[in-house]
Amino acid sequence: MEKMNQAFEKMKMLVGVEVDDERQASTATIDDGNSSWFMDDFNRNCTLSTKQRFYGFAICFVAGVTCTLMSMLVFFNPIKFGIAFTLGNMLSLGSTAFLIGPKRQVTMMLDPVRIYATAIYLASMIFALFCALYVHNKVLTLLALILEFGALIWYSLSYVPFARSMVSKVMVACLDTEF
């Protein structure tokens, strides 16, 4: 029974539900008068049950994938494609915040292992929207979307252990011109 309780507590931590001792530690820092970070307040005020978290994740993820797939319908209009594709990426990225919580999501995104991948991914989304909404240049928008897609893949690989180094080695081996 004890092992089952420990497994349940680990599952709570993975899903983002605060464990009792973590909740007490976070309220102790607030009671001390220390200035709290915005995300601490946000996490404290947005307590969702596990079922609600899964529903939020599923709805947001399905909406993101639907937006991304529906963007293919307007592929030959790069401006509409860029907006729909980027919105789909934002929804899909935001869906994981339901599972692990927004504070942990931001903390994981700013982890030293993936800080550069996160920065390039977010910058490429902003650049794609900028090209689509303000510049109205189809070629530049398509280049921005290619950059965004590559950044999405590189960012996603940062969550798989050794995936980026493996992809880098495969790419070097494929592009190596020496025989």
pLDDT one-digit tens code per residue, 101-144? 888 889 999 999 899 999 999 999 999 999 888 988 888 988 99
Mean pLDDT across 45-62: 86
Lowest mean pLDDT among 41-50, 62-71, 84-93: 41-50
Q: Tokens 């928008």 identify what position?
A: 141
Judging by beta carbons within 10 Å of its beta carbon (0-12, 13-18, 19+), is residue 43 exposed, middle or buried?
middle
| Overall number of domains in the chain | 1
Residue 151 belongs to some domain of the structure: yes
- Residue 111: phi, psi to the nearest 5? -60, 140
Judging by beta carbons within 10 Å of its beta carbon (0-12, 13-18, 19+), is residue 98 exposed, middle or buried?
buried
Residue 91 belongs to some domain of the structure: yes
Domain interval for residue 53: 48-175
Residue 23 belongs to some domain of the structure: no
pTM of the model: 0.67
Mean pLDDT for the chain overall: 80
pLDDT at 90: 93
Residue 165 belongs to some domain of the structure: yes
CA–CA separation, 108 vs 178, rounded Å? 39
Residue 3 belongs to some domain of the structure: no
